[in-house]
Structure 1
Amino acid sequence: MKSKLSALAALLLAAGAAHAAYPERPVRVVVGFSPGGPTDVVARAFASYASQALGQTFVVENRPGANTILAAEAVAKSAPDGYTLLFGATNHTMIPALYADRVKFDALKSFTPLCAVAVSPTVLVTGPALKVGTLDAFLARARAEPGRLTYATPGTGSSGHFATEQFLRQTRISMNHIPYKGAAQAISDLMGGQVDSSLATLGSVLPQVQSGKLTALAVATPRRLPQLPQVPTFDEAGVPGYTADAWYGVLAPAGLPPDVRSRLEETARGFSQADATAKSLDALGMQPRQTCGDAFTAQLSNEIDTYRKLARELGLKAD
C-alpha cells in the first residue's frame, strides 16, 4: 500500500512539474494562409499574447496551399507535445466535405481542438446595381425573378458559398452563384455592379458599407453588431435562426497531454478576454469568442456533418 501511494505521489508530482515546465522551447503556430489575411492577423495576435503569458516564444509559420490542407496535415503529423499548433478557421471543417478522398488526416480525430478565440460575423450586402434597401425587398425581388439575381463568393466550396446555400434553402429562393478566386475581386465586382449580392465576412466589407459603397441588409448574428448598429439581424428581418459566423481558433495534434491542453486552453481564454484583443478584433470587424474544450469539439463535429450533407446535396467536390 505504501509503495502504491509513493508511486501515485510521484506521478502527481511529475504531472505538476510537466505543467509548470511547458513550454520549455519555442512553439510553432502553423497557419494555412499567406501573411496578412484575417486568419494570419489573429494568429499573430494570439502568438504575441501567448509569448508574454507563458514566457516563451510562439512563432507563426505560414504554410499556404491546397485550401489549408498542407498546414493541417503538417500539424496532424507532428508530435502531440504542444510545440506545434494549428491556427485554423471555419474552412477546416469543410475539408471532409470537399477533399474526403485526398486528405491523409481526419479533420476532427487527428486533432485536439483547444479553443475558438474569435469570430467574424457574416453580413448580406448588395451593390449599387441592385436597388433594394431591406431584406424583405431583396427576398421579394429574388422570388419575382428566380435564378436571375447573382451572389458572389471567394470560390466554390468556400465558407461564403456554404453560408449562402444554407440561406437559399432556408428562404426557398434561387440565385445564380458567381465564384471568384478570393474575396477581394468578389467585393470589387460587387461594388462595380457586375454581381448583385454577397454573404461576406464583416471584415471584408466593413469599410465599403461604412462609406456607402455597399448596402448591408442583415447580419447573420444573434445580436446586432456594434460596428453596424443600424443593420438588423436576420432574426429581426424575418429569417429566424439564420446565423453564419466564421470562427478562428487553435488546435493541436491528437493525444495532447491533459496538463499541456489545460495550459493552452487557459492561455487561449486569456487572449479572448483581454481588452487589447477586443480592440484589435473590433478594428478587423471581428469579435472575441471563447469556445473551448468539449464545446469546441462538439461545434467542429456538428459543422463537419452539416457541410458534408450540404456538399452531397449540391454535388460539390474540389478539383
Structure 2
Amino acid sequence: MHHPSHSKTLRRTACLSAALFAAAIPLAHADAANYPSKPVRVIVGFSAGGPTDVVARAFADFAARSLGKPFVIDNKPGANTILAAEAVASAPADGYTLLVGATNHTMIPALYSARVKFDSVRSFVPLCTVAVSPTVLVVGPSMKTPTLAAFLQQVKAEPGKRTYATPGTGSSGHFASEQFTRLTGTRMNHIPYKGAAQVVTDLMGGQVDSSFATLGSVLPQIQAGKLTALAVASPQRSSLLPQVPTFEEAGVKGYRADIWYGLLAPAGTPPEVVATLQKTAQAFAQAPSTQEKLKGLGMESQSVCGSAFGDQLQREVQSYTQLARELDIKAE
C-alpha cells in the first residue's frame, strides 16, 4: 500500500536538494568573489635566480601585498618547462595554482608534441604578460662589424663560415637566429650550448662570432664595451639601449623576437578570479618599483591581457611549429 507520508517525505527531500543546489551556486560565486581565501601557489618552470623566477617572485610579493594572502613560489625546472606547465594544466581550476611562463611555453608544441599531455593554448586561461625582454644581436671581438649592414655583408661573403651561439637546440635564441637567417637569406653555423652564461663567456673570448641574446643576459657586457649590440628585435628601440637601432630601422623588415613573461591559470578558472588576477597583474606591471626592478634585468614592463594575450600565444605556436617542421628542429 502506498503511504501518503512517504511521498510527502520524497517531495520534501527533492525540495531540500533543489534548495541546497540553488544555494551552492551563489556559494561558488561567493567563494570566487572572496578570492583569495588561502595561499596561492605560483609555479615556475625554471630554477631560482633566472629571469623568469625573478619576475615571478616580484609578482608574488606584489600580489601578496595587494590581495592579502601569500603567493608562494614553487620552482619546477626540467624538460624545458613541460613539468611546470603540466602541473598547472592538471591543477583544479580555482585560481590557487598559477603558472609564470615565458616565450618558450609556445615552443613546446613545436618541439615535443608527441610527449605532451596538455595544449599550450587551450589548457590555460591567458591572464596577462607582465614583462618583455627584447632579443638583441650581439657580436664579440672576433667580428669587427660595428653595424648590422657590415655584419650582413661579412656573413654573406662567407656563407656557412660565421658562427652564432645559442643556449641550446630548440631554445628561443635558436628560433630567433633561424628566423633571422631565413629572412636575410644568410647561412651561419649553429653552436648550441647548455645555457646562456657560457655563450656570453665564449662570445667575449672570441670562440664564437655572434648571438641572438635576451637583452638581460648581455646588458652588463654591452655597457662595459665587451660586446657590441648591432640591433634590437622589438618594434621600438629599448629604453635601456637607446642608441641601438631596431632591425626594422637597420634594414631588416618584419623581424621581431621579443621574449615575454606572463601569467596563466588552468582552463576553466572562474571569470571573477580571472578578473582579480588580471587587475593585479596590470597594477604590478604599472608600478614604478616593478619598472625599476625590471630595468635592472634588461626588461621592460608590458601588459597584454586576456584574448589579446591568447591570440599572441596562438600565433606563436603556429609560427614556431611551422619553423620547427621546415628546419627539422627537434628537442635534444
Residue of 222, 226, 229 corresponding to 1:209: 222
For the residue of structure 1 that corresponds to 2:302, the secondary structure is: strand
Gaps of 5+ in 2: 1-18
The structural deviation recorded for 1:20 is 3.2
Conserved? CA contact 1:29–1:47, under 8 Å:
yes
**When the two structures are superposed, what TM-score results if normalisation uses the length of structure 1?**
0.95
- How many Å separate the matches in 1 of 2:23 and 2:137? 58
Conserved? CA contact 1:18–1:259, under 8 Å:
no
Q: Percent identical across equivalent pairs? A: 67
Quick check: 1:242 aligned with 2:234? no
**When the two structures are superposed, what TM-score results if normalisation uses the length of structure 2?**
0.91
Residue 92 of structure 2 is matched in structure 1 by: 79
Residue of 160, 168, 176 corresponding to 1:163: 176
For the residue of structure 2 that corresponds to 1:302, the secondary structure is: helix
Quick check: 1:107 aligned with 2:120? yes
The structural deviation recorded for 1:229 is 1.2
Larger-Rg structure: 2
For the residue of structure 1 that corresponds to 2:312, the secondary structure is: helix
The structural deviation recorded for 1:19 is 4.0
Residue 242 of structure 2 is matched in structure 1 by: 229
Quick check: 1:317 aligned with 2:330? yes
For the residue of structure 1 that corresponds to 2:175, the secondary structure is: helix
Quick check: 1:89 aligned with 2:102? yes
The structural deviation recorded for 1:18 is 3.1
Residue of 291, 309, 312 corresponding to 1:299: 312
Residue of 285, 298, 312 corresponding to 1:285: 298
The structural deviation recorded for 1:228 is 1.1
Residue 172 of structure 1 is matched in structure 2 by: 185
Conserved? CA contact 2:168–2:174, under 8 Å:
yes
- Structure 1 stretch displaced more, 230-239 or 26-35: 230-239
Deviation sequence 1:196-234 (CA, Å, 0-9, x none): 000100000000000000000001111111211111111
The structural deviation recorded for 1:12 is 9.1
- How many Å separate the matches in 2 of 1:108 and 1:169? 27
Residue 47 of structure 1 is matched in structure 2 by: 60
- How many Å separate the matches in 2 of 1:116 and 1:71? 17
The structural deviation recorded for 1:13 is 5.8
- How many Å separate the matches in 1 of 2:98 and 2:158? 48
Relative distance call for 1:275 and 1:10 in structure 2 (3 A) is farther
User: Which AA in structure 1 matches 2:76?
Assistant: R
Deviation sequence 1:99-147 (CA, Å, 0-9, x none): 0111111111111111111001110000001101000000000111111
Quick check: 1:190 aligned with 2:203? yes
The structural deviation recorded for 1:15 is 6.7
Q: Please give the root-mean-square deviation of Cα atoms over the aligned residues, in Å.
A: 1.6
Conserved? CA contact 2:169–2:330, under 8 Å:
no
Aligned length: 313
Residue 57 of structure 1 is matched in structure 2 by: 70
Residue of 26, 36, 46 corresponding to 2:49: 36
Conserved? CA contact 2:32–2:270, under 8 Å:
no
- How many Å separate the matches in 1 of 2:246 and 2:188? 21
Relative distance call for 1:188 and 1:298 in structure 2 (3 A) is same
